[in-house]
Structure 1
């Protein structure tokens, strides 16, 4: 979840509106891409959706209306979808991020995994339940916000999630950055695991040392290898001393519970961009969402790339092939509105899942109540779309079966 909030709403109005930027196949090692993807499904969860019977939230946001919504809120918003897990029964688990944008204002936001079911015929999303993230065994070695050890957005900024073969969950955090391991009920199973040599300003173990990563620029994306042996967490920010616009992807061994020392580089099209999610396609390739920090008509770059570890062009970074331009989606049936071109113009798009070899699911992080990329002055809903690609990914079948 990245934070332009009210400032972007004002700043975007001052921008000259540009047409969506086309991918440049010769830029930063990008290979010729797929053609225009087609919208095959659209479903939406209203922004003002709260966990039934949950605690109030947003007490640190003041009392001025934001996009027509006045904090504090009567419950915990079902928002900020920053990671997704497919359950193969028509439902998905989605991870809410740290809450309202930063550590200081999210102490009353409870970190949670929601179970949702999109109904593309009705264009709606049903929330079936979920679980909060907790640390009942006291494994987090630094002080937490709550005495009951329910984790909040002031403790961690959770942005990526995978489920392993034993049914447990690994979640990537941006404040450390840390890897967090939870059981099926959301209870922490191990102490947070740091990334050696990399610390964000929010890291509780700095002890006066200088951070070498930007605030909340830790593990925005994380993929699980198709054989279930490794995790591949991808930083959102550039580590100090690395070339501008380059992001580190590290390999973590799930058996050894340690980083292997292997590392790759993902190069952004522009150093002003960010990544939103990463998912394995096979042993060598990943889908990675890359975006600018704009929304609505001002948005120019919302893309899904196929990134290849093998670096065939030898430029020292993952090879990139454009798979889908999310600002230029064919919608001949008008599933997302009027027939024509459908745009997914959200500031933060943080979820991609492979449904079959030519179909992707994509979700936004609505940054409730701040982002208004769909309708100015109105908080964004959580949208769930499916896309049909012009060609197959040639993915390992294990990623979608």
Structure 2
């Protein structure tokens, strides 16, 4: 297997506390910065009408002013998004309430949402449940009707192929899961060779070598739609501290190629939360600390290159956006300047064009309160204008 370490270039750009956003010339943000262009939100207390009860396993005490259980399924936990041609987005919800034990009544689902940038609201316009009607999962599921729940898998990332099918990255295995456009599993879960998380039901007596909830937080699809780059969130036992394996997966073969790289975090305490391809060699990555609100100090988007640009055996990371220091001179969303995106889990990044990206948070309903202490976070959608132009392959947009 091929293994390369990704190190950080431009260390001066990694100052954690900035005096304020920089402004460029010609109406563009300064290089390495971003400006808030659009803002919309889906309120935290948004539920799927007429669905099944949920949240019975997280207790009955109020959490950030919200009292479980819930009469319906909450629409929350967005851990990735895909743009549709009509302006809507497919977003995938994670396992529900944070772990296998408390999420058995959370139905795994891909939601379809439509941000109304004029009003600043996000509408839920559809979605599909994830199911296994053909019994491809080789271990017992929580529900006999084979509707998948948060105790079966923890979906944290996904990509869509030209045929409308989805590949979903799971953290419990970690597994890759292939679903059709209706959300039906199409084949058995694909394990990552040699890597076992504690919640992997197939590991038997094999010791786990990956931390819990540290599986496939990020999947990135190549412009030609033939390759998935699957990035772990945690370090595999025996690998260098702070390193994360990036694994190459052949879509047509439905198997890993054996080729991998290593992504090096700025701190071993950081998490990498999403990745999206810019071209055949470069992708954007969200790296963040595990703090929220005023305590948050590191939430960044990096440009990462799969090639060894300077032939030193290391791959470079280039800082692109400090999500805690975003220029907002027009007061978009009613926020001040600078704008901060201070959430515990920021788990979605998508390229819209060579100067514009979409970033979203996983609101961990009802547990996270990064925007306003004591109040559950909304699902926020922000569009950012970059100060650095991307070398974009437009095939990544569709």
**1:143 — aligned with what?**
140
Aligned equivalent of 1:350, options 347, 350, 353? 347
Aligned equivalent of 2:105, options 105, 108, 122? 108
Q: Which runs of 5+ in 2 are unaligned?
A: 1-7, 16-29
- Could you tell me how far 1:136 is from its partner in structure 2? 0.4
Deviations 1:215-234 (A, max 9, x none): 01100000011011111110
**1:25 — aligned with what?**
10
Matches within 5 A, 1:351-370: 351-370=348-367
- Does the aligned pair in 2 maintain the 1:224–1:232 contact within 8 Å? yes
Evaluate the alpha carbon distance shift between residue 267 and residue 317 of structure 1 in structure 2; reply closer, same or farther with a 3 A threshold. farther
Q: CA RMSD in A?
A: 1.7
Q: Secondary structure at the match of 2:48?
A: coil
Aligned equivalent of 1:123, options 112, 120, 130? 120
- Could you tell me how far 1:318 is from its partner in structure 2? 3.3
- Could you tell me how far 1:28 is from its partner in structure 2? 12
Aligned equivalent of 1:329, options 320, 326, 331? 326
- Does the aligned pair in 1 maintain the 2:13–2:319 contact within 8 Å? no
Deviations 1:57-110 (A, max 9, x none): 010111110000001111110000001111121000000000000000000000
- Could you tell me how far 1:35 is from its partner in structure 2? 2.9
Matches within 5 A, 1:1-400: 25-26=10-11, 34-314=31-311, 316-400=313-397
Normalising to structure 1: TM-score of the pair?
0.91
Q: Number of residues paired by the alignment? A: 377
Instruction: Report the Cα distance in structure 2 between the residues aligned to 1:214 and 1:118, rounded to whole angstroms.
Output: 35
Instruction: Report the Cα distance in structure 1 between the residues aligned to 2:311 and 2:140, rounded to whole angstroms.
Output: 46
- Does the aligned pair in 2 maintain the 1:34–1:322 contact within 8 Å? no
Q: Which runs of 5+ in 1 are unaligned?
A: 1-22
Instruction: Report the Cα distance in structure 2 between the residues aligned to 1:195 and 1:321, rounded to whole angstroms.
Output: 28
- Does the aligned pair in 2 maintain the 1:264–1:317 contact within 8 Å? no
Instruction: Report the Cα distance in structure 1 between the residues aligned to 2:364 and 2:314, rounded to whole angstroms.
Output: 30
Instruction: Report the Cα distance in structure 1 between the residues aligned to 2:195 and 2:222, rounded to whole angstroms.
Output: 23
Normalising to structure 2: TM-score of the pair?
0.92
Evaluate the alpha carbon distance shift between residue 28 and residue 386 of structure 1 in structure 2; reply closer, same or farther with a 3 A threshold. closer
- Could you tell me how far 1:26 is from its partner in structure 2? 2.8
- Could you tell me how far 1:317 is from its partner in structure 2? 4.5
